[in-house]
Amino acid sequence: MNSSKNNSAANPKEELMRGIAAATDNTLSDEMVEKLATTAGNVLEVADQLKDEDTRQAVSYTLQRLTRLHRIGAIETLFDLLEGIHCGRMAMTDSMVNRLLGFAEHMVSNLGNEEMASMVGTAFNALQDAVDETKNSTKSGGVLSTVTMLSKPETQQALQFLILTAAKMKEHFGEEEK
């Protein structure tokens, strides 16, 4: 009896394999063994893909980010967001989906032309230039500096442009509401 204990301790791998073999002979049906073999094959396939350095780095990065999300409690927020999207999708009727797709098609056809893209690009560049110039301008405050600025013709022209733009937008939106 003591010698069998020594054999087990000397070769635990063989003992484990004998135990697994005995368990499969006595307790697993052929269908269960087939499922177990298929699962083991799938696990080995995934493990084989981890030999690729890019895949291994991607999995490692994903696990690190998942751990970070868990630590800050963002996983719960992420699942809440997914549940909300799912609920919204389930609550939508076919009519709502058709209208949403129609709106998307309308937006793409209106905004997807070259003239609109050029206009948006020009407006973006103008806004970016204005932001850059504002950052680089000297900062002075007070009523006198404001009055001095308002006395400049370009300031008056810019204010007039903004006021006219707002008035014209109000006119156009007012026409659409009627």
User: Distance (Å, rounded) from C-alpha 84 to C-alpha 102?
Assistant: 23
Q: Is position 46 within any domain?
A: no
Report how many domains make up the chain.
1
Q: Identify the band that residue 28 occupies on the pLDDT scale cut at 50, 70 and 90.
A: low
Angle among Cα 157, 162, 165 to the nearest 5 degrees reads: 120
Q: Is position 82 within any domain?
A: no
pTM of the model: 0.33
Q: Is position 42 within any domain?
A: no
Residues of the chain above pLDDT 90, percent: 20
User: Distance (Å, rounded) from C-alpha 159 to C-alpha 130?
Assistant: 14
Residues 6+ apart with CB under 8 A from 117: 111
Q: Is position 48 within any domain?
A: no
* pLDDT for res 2: 47
Residues 6+ apart with CB under 8 A from 59: 50
Residues 6+ apart with CB under 8 A from 49: 55
59 and 50 in contact (C-beta within 8 Å)?
A: yes
Instruction: Give the DSSP letter of residue 151.
Output: T
Q: Is position 166 within any domain?
A: yes
Q: Is position 161 within any domain?
A: yes
56-96 pLDDT, tens digit per residue, is: 899 899 999 999 999 999 999 999 999 998 898 888 888 88
In this structure, of 21-30, 35-44, 119-128, the range with the lowest mean pLDDT score is: 21-30
Residue span of the structural domain in which 172 resides: 143-178
156, amino acid identity: Q
